[in-house]
Amino acid sequence: MKHLKIGYLQQHNVADVKTNMQRLADGVRDLAKRGAELVVLQELHNSLYFCQVEDVDNFDLAEPIPGPSTDFYGALARECNVVIVTSLFERRAPGLYHNTAVVMERDGSIAGKYRKMHIPDDPAYYEKFYFTPGDLGFCPIQTSVGKLGVLVCWDQWYPEAARLMALQGAELLIYPTAIGYAASDTEDEQQRQREAWTTVQRGHAVANGLPVVSVNRVGFEPDPSKQTPGIEFWGSSMVVGPQGEMLYRSAPDAEDSVIVEVDLAHSEDVRRWWPFLRDRRIDMYGEIIKRFID
């Protein structure tokens, strides 16, 4: 049996980056004391979700990798003897930026990184203004706690991304996330969207026979441009088992710090019972690479 104690922090953010980072560090230390071996943080956790507006000054938030944040979270991982999944605004070169997840190993080194592949562009989610689509592929990151299929937010709607991680040996899928309600939507529509978001990730777990960890931010963040009422992030971070079972789900409106123990070896049992990978018709999927089939 391969049990892994997974911790995550569902937090609200403030405008001051140092305050956000310090609160995260305090949370990671607490989770480590409680026995966490792997800690997952939410998307772009160092700052407010700046993509609500298109503002060139926000590029000042970006930094190189390695850089100050990887130094900070690397030292924290080493201090706490945990693996940490971070989510950073990467400055790769002048004018070239990515939304990048970086995994810090227990010894403080960088185990690997993943650049977000699917980039949204919607009102209050103007990510195409900031981020170049990733070019590292869908490659799991090997760590001392297992092989992690790390993806980011908008990636979580795409079955192809989850499947490619699974086919390369990922032992669990991880999604740092920043998603919330549009104030203009009705309460019923808001709940349909939140439940769709939950359902699709449970589907990835079932289809691939893998646990899924999704960590969202929570709380209200105003739109600096005042063109929209802002975003109420819906929290609801979750850990899902390989049959889609909900192992834990946070509240939609409160911070949370939790540890969930997952049996990674159970995925082998599930894949024996439901041999989806065995029965794939790989000889018939060639057209999947087309944008649309006329």
Q: Which of 5, 51, 80, 116 is catalytic?
A: 116
CA 85 distance to own-chain centroid: 8
Which residues, 6+ apart, have CB-to-CB distance to 199 below 8 Å?
none
d(CA 44, CA 20): 11
Active site includes 116?
yes
d(CA 17, CA 15): 6
Q: Which of 43, 90, 171, 221 is catalytic?
A: 43
Which residues, 6+ apart, have CB-to-CB distance to 69 below 8 Å?
21, 46, 63, 86, 88, 102
Active site includes 43?
yes
Active site includes 5?
no
The residue among 5, 294, 287, 288 whose CA lies nearest residue 146 is: 5
Which residues, 6+ apart, have CB-to-CB distance to 20 below 8 Å?
11, 13, 14, 45, 46, 47
Q: Which of 5, 90, 127, 153 is catalytic?
A: 153
Which residues form the catalytic set?
43, 116, 153
